[in-house]
Amino acid sequence: MPNCKSSLVTEAERKHVRRRARFQQHRDARCHQVFFFLQGKAPKEIHAILRETLREDAPTYATVKNWVTQFKRGDFSTCDAPRPGQPKTVTTPEIIDQIHELILEDLRISVKSIAEQLGISREQVGSIIHEDLGMRKPSVKWAPKYLKAYQKRQRCQSSEQLLEFFSARCK
């Protein structure tokens, strides 16, 4: 029976879902803290409840204290405030798709060229290509790190056909 898991969802999509789940869990924890704060519970009590409920995914006591301080000032927002400066990451599904399209258009394209076209760092482009797209550049062209079974069969068949063609011409 084929492994359906790998064929239905790409690694980039899995990472995106995990990232969204962590974000949602963080937001849920903050909502719970607002609820407990409005009930008059102290930061230590709130942290103990969250630690009991979320176990290793619970926010630290320092984080709980910071949030309670924000609540006391009247800031009950459950979203993080925008931060100044460049975002830490540009790995979005859209960027990954753009990089993949550029590579498929020209297998000889360089990381530098992709970075210049998209306006992101070469390091980030390299990370996306290697980690999210699972590709490498063994010589001049980009290629998948691991070939699937049907791709291996297809390459073997193509190689055999080429061998037959050239051996027939050489006779």
The residue from 72, 107, 124 where one domain ends is 72
pLDDT in tens, 123-170: 999 989 888 888 888 777 777 777 666 777 788 888 888 888 888 877
The residue from 15, 41, 72 where one domain ends is 72
pLDDT in tens, 16-59: 666 666 666 666 777 777 778 878 888 888 888 888 877 777 78
Burial readout 16-43 (b: 16 or more C-beta within 10 A, e: otherwise): beeeeeeeeebeebbebbbebbeeebeb
Claim to verify: residue 55 and residue 109 sit in the same structural domain:
no
pLDDT above 50 (res 6): no
| 19 domain-assigned | yes
Claim to verify: residue 68 and residue 113 sit in the same structural domain:
no
| 29 domain-assigned | yes
Total structural domains within the chain = 2
Grade residue 87 by pLDDT with cuts at 50, 70 and 90: low
